[in-house]
Amino acid sequence: MGKKLANKVAIITGSGSGMGAEMATLFAAEGASIVGADINIERANEVAEKIKTNGGQAIAIKTDVSCLADIKKVFKTAKDKFGQVDIVVNNAGIMDDFSPVGEMTNETWERAFAVNVDSVMYATREAVKEFLPKKKGVILNTASVGGTNGGRAGAAYTAAKHAVVGLTKNTAFMYEKNGIRTNAIAPGGISTNIGESIKNASEFGMERQKAGMGLMPGMGSSSSIAKTALFLVSDDADFVNGVIVPVDGGWTTY
């Protein structure tokens, strides 16, 4: 059986750790050349070196995903190095401080949207430019159960991830006749290092969210996300478009 992503080039943001690192490693094992974009270049380089050690192809680029110039550089680098772009995974993201809107600071709100939403729009726009001429391409966004439900994060993260869900569905619909597929994964509780982005958690917000935490069926692994992502970006999912796939162990069934 051939590799699922043979001869494909995949851009993955947030490739240096957690879900992004797992996706990069798995996609490379399935034949893709990886362009890893991460603000933590040391981690991204470690992942790229691991891929190359295992016989794959990968490069890492230091990227602030909230900066349009950086996103454009990632696409240029991908084309300069590998000649094309076939898959774009908008995975980089940050948490908020669990604040409800009454405690929200402008800084927290604006940063959550810059990293979690603006970045997705920028990269999606660049991807569409690449994919339209060849009428083929795949975009995969990392949303969240915070983007489908209301009580699993603070107001900023919840609103931002709802925006990612909306952008995913709109892009899927707009370009469905142009050979471009756009989907999203909505992770539940996954063991990653995203908690590093939480600085000053709201006590009120945390207390309110505890109401549903007891229903969470444990913590999932980044590997579970990566395997779902592989399906969605591969030709196995050639008729899957505009869906938000929860990978949460059933947490959102209640």
Residue (of 196, 223, 233, 230) closest to 39 by Cα position: 196
Q: Give the end-to-end CA distance of the chain in Å, rounded to a whole number.
A: 39
Q: Are 31 and 4 in contact (CB under 8 A)?
A: yes
Return the sign of the alpha-carbon dihedral for residues 170, 176, 180, 184.
positive
Q: Are 59 and 36 in contact (CB under 8 A)?
A: yes
Q: Are 154 and 202 in contact (CB under 8 A)?
A: yes
- CA atoms of 129 and 215, how far apart (whole Å): 42
Considering the candidates 122, 157, 175, 254, report the single residue annotated as catalytic: 157
- Give residue 250's region: left, alpha or beta (phi > 0; psi -120 to 50): left
Active site residue 175: no
Looking at the chain, the number of H-run helices and the number of E-run strands are 8, 7
Active site residues: 157
